[in-house]
Amino acid sequence: MGYLFVILASILFGSYPSIQEHVMTTGATPLGMVIVCNSVAGLSSLIIGLIRRESFKLDKKMFGSLALTGILGLFLTDYLLNTSYTMIPVGFTTMIHFLYPSLVCMTMVFVYKEKLTKGKVGAIVLSIVGLILLSGGDFSGDKRGVFVAIATAFAYGFYMISNDKSSVAKVPLMARSFYLNLFVAIAALITNIFTKSAVLPSGAENIELSVLVGIMLCTALILMNAGIGILGAGKSSFINMLEPITSFVVSTIVFHYSITVTAILGSVLILGSLILVTLGEEKKQTVN
């Protein structure tokens, strides 16, 4: 079930950015979208958790871990990604951001002493080459955006590992999603005090679409966190490579982008990296 959870989460993560982009073309800003969408995601998690009678009580350690994971993981990822989009091409940003599975893999090997297998090495190589091809090869723009995009890879890598190895992993799924989104929304509101850059969605259609994104985000986070709990951060990170492929397919359909041979080849290589990770785990289970 862990694979299914992460696959479904990746599809959702890759689908809703096109909806966000549509809403932002009408005047809403990235920070405004974070405030609305994460607030909806947090409220949805709270309602579901209350219906399921999950506990929302936290000790000090869990509260601190959730705050760090929400702010340094999710909020920084969303905010810096949106910032990077304004500085360098989206494909280039995506390529750099999705170096995070390799960062997670190496962290799990050197910090948490997981075994570095040939399959993992192959998956790292295939994923990086695939991302380069999928990006379209447009590496223009403000070079400072590269460093911003690199920061997103570290931020999201931290988020994935925290959901696997810190006390965050012990928090029930709905409560975890609620608190993580709460801290993201709070961080966004504080950021707006200094930047004054939040413009919220307006108009019935855009508000409805933003609420839809919030619900999709809530569902994706819950599924991803459940998958991490079963598979671990390393394998979940590589399976999450389905996200840029989904984003490419959805944006191509919605915005009528042209499909190139290099993009198709890049997608195939990324899928190859997922297969290497999956087969490696199945072989390990068979041997055991």
What percentage of the chain exceeds 70 in pLDDT?
Answer: 94
- What's the angle, vertex CA 27, arms to CA 191 and CA 251, rounded to 5? 100
Asked whether residue 286 carries a pLDDT value surpassing 50, the answer given is: no
User: In the chain, which residue ranges form alpha helices assigned H by DSSP?
Assistant: 2-24, 30-51, 60-68, 76-85, 90-97, 100-110, 118-134, 144-165, 173-195, 204-231, 233-239, 242-255, 261-287
Residue 137 confidence (pLDDT): 65
Torsion on CA atoms 42, 20, 91, 256, rounded to nearest 10: 140
CA-CA-CA-CA torsion sign (241, 244, 246, 248): negative
Q: How far apart are CA 114 and CA 80, in angstroms?
A: 30
Q: Is the pLDDT of residue 262 over 80?
A: yes
Alpha helices in 232-260 (DSSP H): 233-239, 242-255
Q: Which residue has the higher pLDDT, 90 or 80?
A: 80
- How many Å apart are CA 223 and CA 48, to the nearest integer? 14
Q: For the chain, what is the radius of gyration of the CA atoms? A: 18
Reduce the DSSP state of residue 112 to 3 states and report it: coil
| 155-176 tens-digit pLDDT | 999 999 999 999 999 999 999 9
pTM: 0.85
- Mean pLDDT to the nearest integer, 274-281: 70
The more confident residue out of 141 and 137 is 141
Per-residue confidence (pLDDT) for residue 10, from 0 to 100:
92
CA distance 115 to 122: 14
Spatial CA neighbour of 158 closest among 206, 93, 228, 85: 228
Q: Per residue in 219-260, pLDDT tens?
A: 999 999 999 999 999 889 988 888 888 877 877 777 666 677
pLDDT score, position 138: 66
Query: What is the spatial distance between Cα 71 and Cα 75, in angstroms, rounded to a whole number?
Result: 5
pLDDT at position 257, please?
65
Say if residues 10 and 243 touch (Cβ distance below 8 Å).
Answer: yes
At 255 the pLDDT is: 65
CA-nearest of 265, 262, 261, 267 to 248 is: 267
pLDDT digits (tens, 9 = 90+) for 21-54: 788 888 899 899 999 999 999 999 999 999 999 9
Angle subtended by helix axes 118-134 and 100-110, to nearest 10: 160
248: left (phi over 0), alpha (psi -120 to 50) or beta: alpha
Q: Which positions ≥6 away from 209 have C-beta within 8 Å?
A: 19, 22, 23, 201
pLDDT digits (tens, 9 = 90+) for 82-125: 788 778 877 778 888 888 988 998 999 889 888 877 888 888 88
Mean pLDDT of the chain: 87
Distance CA 104, CA 116 (A): 12
Cβ neighbours around 191 below 10 Å, total: 17
- CA 63 from chain centre, in angstroms, equals 22
H or E element at residue 241: none
Q: For the residues 54-59, what does the mean pLDDT come to?
A: 91
What confidence score (pLDDT) does residue 285 get? 46
Phi and psi torsions of 43, nearest 5°: -65, -40
Q: How confident is the model at residue 276 (pLDDT cuts 50, 70, 90)?
A: confident
